Amino acid sequence: MKNDTPIAVTSRSFSRHPILRGELLERYSNVRFNDEGLSLKGDALVEFARGCKKLITALEPIDEDVLSRLPELEVIGKYGVGHDMIDKAAMARHGVRLGWTGGVNRRSVAELALTMMISLLHEVPRANLDIRNGHWQNRLGRQLTGKTVGIVGCGHIGKDLTPLLKAFDCKVLVHDRRDFPEFYAKYDVQAVDLEFLLRQADVVTLHLPLTELTRNIISRERLAGMKPEAILINTARGGLVDEQALKEALREGRLAGAGFDVFAPEPPEDPELLGLPNFLATSHIGGSSEEAILAMGRAAIAGLDENEIPSDAYPPSYLFEGK
């Protein structure tokens, strides 16, 4: 027998996914989907969710104001692995439970990071621009094989990326506030401080949440500490890198290339950065593979029944817990 608890699905992508809709409706009979594709926040979010005991949310801001106006809300199932849009302390104050599973999109994001590394090392963005502009030019690229790769943040995605890099015989450096000795030993990973990693790595890839402690963690000064032939990859969160300083470094040849799937803000508003031939940009697609979307959606559905009051330890709020 289906559960008739009233549920609202604020996420647009979940709402339009036929498999996820069907699997949710197999369990619950009283579901309100965001079929109009609305961008829900503030008053609109409260109005949409009013009267529902459970929500499935994605990037919609859940804060004190929203929670105070939804006294009937009991559970939020999180669609997606990032939780920076949720005020967990406010949820705890209001007794609202959170169903969240970390790392369900790890392989999708790891593959995109790897794609960007190979593309930039092999000068794919420049070569593509050449041929689109009618120029046939043989550009000299570099192999990923044998390079030193620095992973900043060894959470779910950092750990998933490591064995992929080892298949290319890469030397892997990791910076994380926590220690994972068994993982490091298994994959012959060297744990180092951030400045050492930036100085040594041919490729730096970021896998951090955005917090007040990680905002602009790759600052102008830290960009200046990287090798001029290095490349920087950000498939984690916009706001981790000083984008103005990055643009200057790329334009002046103080950094060989950068690949970003995330920006602050989104969509990005700097056409000069986007137009640089050594900059590769995608539209926050890291977790948007078919397989990852299904995994995230199924985790959100499970979270409606498997959940707990958030605390400082749940979801992980550690500085370098990868998204």
DSSP H helical ranges for 101-180 = 106-121, 124-132, 156-166
pLDDT of residue 213: 92
- Are 319 and 213 a contacting pair, CB within 8 Å? yes
pLDDT of residue 318: 33
Catalytic site residue 156? no
Domain boundaries, the chain: 7-104+289-303, 106-281
Checking if the pLDDT of 316 tops 80, the result is: no
Residue 161, Cβ density class (10 Å: 0-12 exposed, 13-18 middle, ≥19 buried) = buried
What percent of the chain shows pLDDT beyond 70? 96
- From the list 21, 32, 284, 298, the catalytic residue is 284
Confidence band, pLDDT 50/70/90 cuts, at residue 300:
very high
- From the list 266, 272, 290, 291, the catalytic residue is 266
How does the average pLDDT of the chain come out, rounded? 94
Give every CB contact of residue 145 below 8 A, 6+ residues apart in sequence.
168, 169, 170
Question: Which pLDDT tens digit goes with each residue over 172-205?
Answer: 999 999 999 999 999 999 999 999 999 999 999 9
pLDDT of residue 199: 98
pLDDT of residue 70: 97
Question: Which pLDDT tens digit goes with each residue over 103-141?
Answer: 899 999 999 999 999 999 999 999 999 999 999 999 999
The CATH number fitting domain 106-281, selected from 3.10.20.740, 3.40.50.720, 3.30.70.660, 3.40.190.80: 3.40.50.720
Question: Which pLDDT tens digit goes with each residue over 36-73?
Answer: 999 999 999 999 999 999 999 998 999 999 999 999 99
Question: Which pLDDT tens digit goes with each residue over 262-273?
Answer: 999 999 999 999
pLDDT of residue 288: 87
Residue linked to tokens 């030193």: 148
pLDDT of residue 312: 55
What are 191's strand-pairing partners? 174
Residue linked to tokens 């046939």: 136
Confidence band, pLDDT 50/70/90 cuts, at residue 80:
confident
Predicted TM-score of the model (pTM)? 0.87
Fold for the domain defined by 7-104+289-303: Rossmann fold (3.40.50)
Cβ neighbour number for residue 201 with a 10 Å cutoff:
26
- From the list 60, 83, 237, 243, the catalytic residue is 237
Within this chain, domains 7-104+289-303 and 106-281 share the same CATH topology: yes
As a whole number, mean pLDDT of residues 307-312 equals 84
pLDDT of residue 205: 98
Range in 21-25, 286-290, 296-300 the model is least confident about: 286-290
**pLDDT higher at 39 or 142:** 142
